[in-house]
Every structure is written in structure tokens, then in C-alpha cells.
Amino acid sequence: MNIKDTANHYGFISRLNHWLGALIVIGMLAVGLYFNDMPRGDEKSYWLKLHIGVGGLFFVFLWFRVFWRVFTQSPQAFEQKKTLKRLTQIVHWVLLLSVLIMALSGPFLIWSRGAPINVFDWFSIPSPMGKMPDFHELMEEVHAIVAKVLLVSIIIHTLAVIKHRFIDKDQLLSRMVKFLRK
Ligand code: HEM
Ligand code: HEM
């Protein structure tokens, strides 16, 4: 089993990062968009607590996921038309940057309120800073705006994978899913 990426396939760490990361990001996005417009109350508090608990457990993993992709060797770009190669590259970098921004702005919007990140009342991660109301507002805005950028790029990314699988019928998905390899 390849731990690291090869010229044509993603290795174990990248695949784990990708699929665990995708699960967390899609879940966080769904929960965030769901509670966002709710009036204050028990139901909103329940979903917000879940969002913060999962976020507190995984934000360092999300930093690592992006760090690994940026600082280790990845497979060559998938063979396709030059414009599509370029577009794929742009969407992947927008996804990575958006994940990093979400995983930074989330914790910092809590910490800049002077509050700790409470992970399901098991433990909490104390704030490394005092109250910073302006920075808190900036982080809140960044978190809300980048969530929309992330949503649009995930839709484009998923549609592209579906096109490769069912229209082009090529091997792109197998680069990220080991059991599909021939
Ligand atoms: C990729 C990861 C994440 C995604 C996709 C995500 C998504 C969202 C979304 C869509 C909202 C609603 C935003 C709005 O329109 O106002 C939200 C709010 C929130 N998120 Fe996240 N989030 C992520 C990570 C985190 C992390 C790691 C934390 C903290 C540990 C966090 C803490 C919060 C908090 C406290 C709110 C409520 C903000 C407010 O009161 O306005 N998020 N998130
Ligand atoms: C069901 C949803 C998804 C499917 C089917 C899927 C599938 C794939 C496939 C097949 C590749 C390899 C592309 C290539 O070889 O050029 C890939 C790469 C990538 N995907 Fe996804 N993906 C999904 C969700 C996500 C989500 C939610 C994110 C981020 C939030 C994401 C971020 C990335 C990134 C950044 C890459 C580039 C390689 C890497 O950094 O790991 N994907 N995806």
C-alpha cells in the first residue's frame, strides 16, 4: 500500500484526508446553513453546539489536510484538455483555501469573543486571546461568505467528478478510490 502519492494515484494519507475531510466539510456546511436562519432557541443551540463540537474536534485535522496537500508531492494533473486542466487546478485551490479559511475563522470567531471552544462538554480549548469585538465581527463575516464560496465549489467539483465517471467514462475517480483501480 502506498502511504504517499505516486505519479498517477493518491496514496493512503491523501485518500484518508480527502474522504474524511469531505465528510466533515459537507456535514459542517449542511449543519451551518441549516441553523443559520433559525430564531434563537433550544433547537438553534443544539445544532450550534454540534457544529462547534465537531469543529473543535477536527479543525486541526483540516489544517493538516490542507498542509499535506500543499507541502507533499501530488499526482500529475489528470490528462484532459488544457482548459479543463486549468479549471480543475483553480477549483482544487479554491476548495483548499476555503477549507483552510473556514477551519481558521471558525475557532477564531469563538476565541475572539473571549470564549473557549466547548467540545460536547468533554473538554474545552481555551482562548489564546482576549475579547476582540472588531476581529470577531470580521471572522463572522469571513466564515459566512467563504461558506458560500465553498458550497459553490463543492457543487462544481462533484459535477465534474460525475461527468468524468458517467460521460467521459475515464479513470479519474479511481485515482482517489483504490478499489476502482484496474
Ligand atoms: C469547513 C468547516 C466549516 C464549515 C463548512 C462551516 C460552516 C458554517 C456555516 C455555513 C455557518 C453559518 C454562517 C452564517 O451564514 O452566518 C457557520 C457558523 C458558525 N461556525 Fe462554522 N463551519 C466550519 C468550521 C467551523 C469550526 C472549525 C468552528 C469552531 C470550532 C465553527 C464555528 C462556527 C460558529 C460559532 C458559527 C456561528 C457563527 C455566528 O454566531 O454567526 N465552524 N459555520
Ligand atoms: C462526494 C463528493 C466528492 C467526490 C466524488 C470527490 C472526488 C474527487 C476526486 C475523484 C478527486 C481526484 C481528482 C484528480 O485526480 O484530479 C478529488 C480531488 C480533490 N477533492 Fe474531491 N470529491 C468530493 C468532495 C470534495 C470536498 C467536499 C472537498 C473539499 C471541501 C474536496 C476537495 C478536493 C481537493 C482539494 C482535491 C484535489 C486533491 C486533494 O487535495 O486531495 N472534494 N475529489
Output the CA angle 56-58-64, nearest 5 degrees: 130
From CA 170, how far away is CA 129, in angstroms rounded? 50
Would residue 137 count as lying in a domain?
yes
Would residue 4 count as lying in a domain?
no
pLDDT digits (tens, 9 = 90+) for 91-144: 999 999 999 999 999 999 999 999 999 999 999 999 999 999 999 999 999 999
Would residue 5 count as lying in a domain?
no
Would residue 102 count as lying in a domain?
yes
Ligand 2 binding residues, C-beta < 6 A: 14, 18, 22, 25-26, 69, 78, 88, 92, 95-96, 99, 154, 157-158, 161, 172-173, 175-176
From CA 150, how far away is CA 24, in angstroms rounded? 13
- Please give the pLDDT value at position 182: 72
The number of domains in the chain is 1
Pocket residue to mutate for ligand 2, from 6, 12, 18, 59, most atoms within 8 A of Cβ: 18
Output the CA angle 9-10-11, nearest 5 degrees: 115
C-alpha cell at 57: 474536534
Would residue 3 count as lying in a domain?
no
Would residue 7 count as lying in a domain?
no
Pocket residue to mutate for ligand 1, from 23, 25, 28, 119, most atoms within 8 A of Cβ: 28
Structural domain that includes position 121:
12-180
Q: Are 139 and 108 a contacting pair, CB within 8 Å?
A: yes
Mean pLDDT of 33-53: 97
